[in-house]
Amino acid sequence: MLGLLSVPGMLHAAADEAEAMKFFETKVRPVFAENCYDCHGEEKQKGGLRLDNLGYILQGGELGPALVPGDAMASHLYKAVTYQDKELQMPPKDKKLPDSQIEDIRKWIDMGAPWPKAEIVQAKKPGEFTEEERGWWAFQPLMKVTPPAVTGDARVANPIDNFIATGLKEKGLSQAQPASRAEMVRRLYYNLHGLPPTPAQVQAFLDDKRPDAYERLVDELLASPRYGVRWGQHWLDLARYAESDGYREDAYRPNAWPYRDYVIKSFNDDKPYNQFVREQLAGDEINPDDPNVLIGTAYLRHGIYEWNQRDAEGQRELMVNEMTDVAGELFLGLSFACARCHDHKFDPILQKDYYRLKSFFTGVQWREDVALATPEEKAAHAEQV
């Protein structure tokens, strides 16, 4: 009996919710879409405010939360559309909403700001991470994974093939035919040296009938100085290596090349990656008397620079910003520059963390009194040039 008595109340609540949602969809959302989204939507958020989702509205912008559900008079949004404050008038430039639309917004807020629950996003609070960001796959600890078992006639040469074969089977696809030996030798040379093999090198591989001929060729190409040149260039690109300053003057940097050679040698020597990183960020602290370690810190010198002493302070600020940005991009694979002005909108980087990292580089001083190459090395370089 009690259950039956509660049914009318439940139906009444559902009807009220449906009416509230209908009111929002017909009276409020169209007003926001027509008058607000150009400046406070997905593409642009003036004042840090976004109005196309209740989660963002509750998060607010520079003035804090844009509305207080159930209390229009305490809401910045209502104050803005009513022009109560001459410094806060929206829409701006004498485009005040009609009184009827303002009344609809007031009523909507006082109703509790109903919004389709399925649409509401978890807005990010300034200076904090969302649970979605914390759970992003790229930031999870590495875990040992057991390759899936394969069945049938799938060709499997290593554990990676297990994943590929399983994925192909799930999509109803078949494996490509094995590459010919001529194709394999070309792929190896392009991959490890960046250049095609000569006809003689191709023929030498084709004539090598030993069962481990492929492995032998891999070892041979890895042992070649060409390997470091090929793969070192990728690091040099990311580390913004350049032999001139950039900007209009674009002055030549006669002493940039030792860092280039350091990177190439590190690849050819199979230097451990953690050591490679430490030497570039703090080689002068690790072993300041060893030029083979000290040269790593030249990584910090490769940003564009203009020798403009009329604005030396501004130039140094640009220099330190650039070091911070590149460190994030190079060592973390994240675009740091956005967090210079605000919490990053896409990557989980807080503005306060950007400046914590920047403080590490603030004390860096460029020196001109340290020789990073011996006279013999300089002479050899001059001959090559």
**pLDDT tens for the 385 residues of the chain, in order:** 545 444 444 444 556 888 999 999 999 999 999 999 999 998 888 988 999 999 889 888 888 889 999 999 999 999 999 998 888 888 987 789 999 999 999 999 999 999 998 888 877 667 788 777 888 888 899 899 999 999 888 899 899 999 999 999 999 999 999 999 999 999 999 999 999 999 999 999 999 999 999 999 999 999 999 999 999 999 999 999 998 878 887 788 888 899 999 999 999 999 999 999 999 999 989 998 888 899 999 999 888 887 777 778 888 898 999 999 999 999 999 989 999 998 888 888 999 999 999 999 998 887 777 777 777 888 887 788 7
CA dihedral 263, 265, 268, 273 (to 10 degrees): -50
Host H or E run for residue 134: helix 131-134
pLDDT at 114: 94
Query: Is 150:156 a contact under the CB 8 Å cutoff?
Result: yes
Give me 359's structure tokens: 């403080």
Residue 81, pLDDT score? 92
Other C-beta atoms closer than 10 Å to the C-beta of 236 total: 17
Contact yes or no for 307/245 (Cβ under 8 A) = yes
Write phi, then psi, for 343 (nearest 5 degrees): -55, 135
Which phi and psi angles does 115 have, rounded to 5°?
A: -155, 140
Structure tokens of 32? 């926001």
CA gap 342, 346 in Å, rounded: 11
- pTM for the model stands at 0.71
d(CA 204, CA 169) in angstroms, rounded, equals 37
Cβ contacts of residue 287 below 8 Å, gap of 6+? 293, 294
Provide DSSP, 247-273. Answer: TTT--B-TT-HHHHHHHHHHHHTT--H
Q: What are phi and psi of 252, to 5 degrees?
A: -70, 140
Rounded Cα distance between 132 and 154, Å, is 37
Query: What is the structure's pLDDT at 151?
Result: 82
Angstrom distances, CA of residue 298 to CA of 78, 303, 347: 56, 10, 28
Q: Do 113 and 57 touch, CB atoms closer than 8 A?
A: yes
Q: Residue 14: what pLDDT?
A: 59
Number of Cβ within 10 Å of residue 108's Cβ equals 24
CA 233 – CA 110 distance, rounded (Å): 62
pLDDT of residue 315: 85
Is the bond preceding residue 8 a cis peptide, omega within 30 degrees?
Answer: no
pLDDT at residue 5, rounded to an integer: 46
End-to-end CA distance of the chain: 97
CA distances for 213 relative to 183, 185, 218, 332, angstroms: 14, 10, 9, 38
d(CA 139, CA 150) in angstroms, rounded, equals: 29
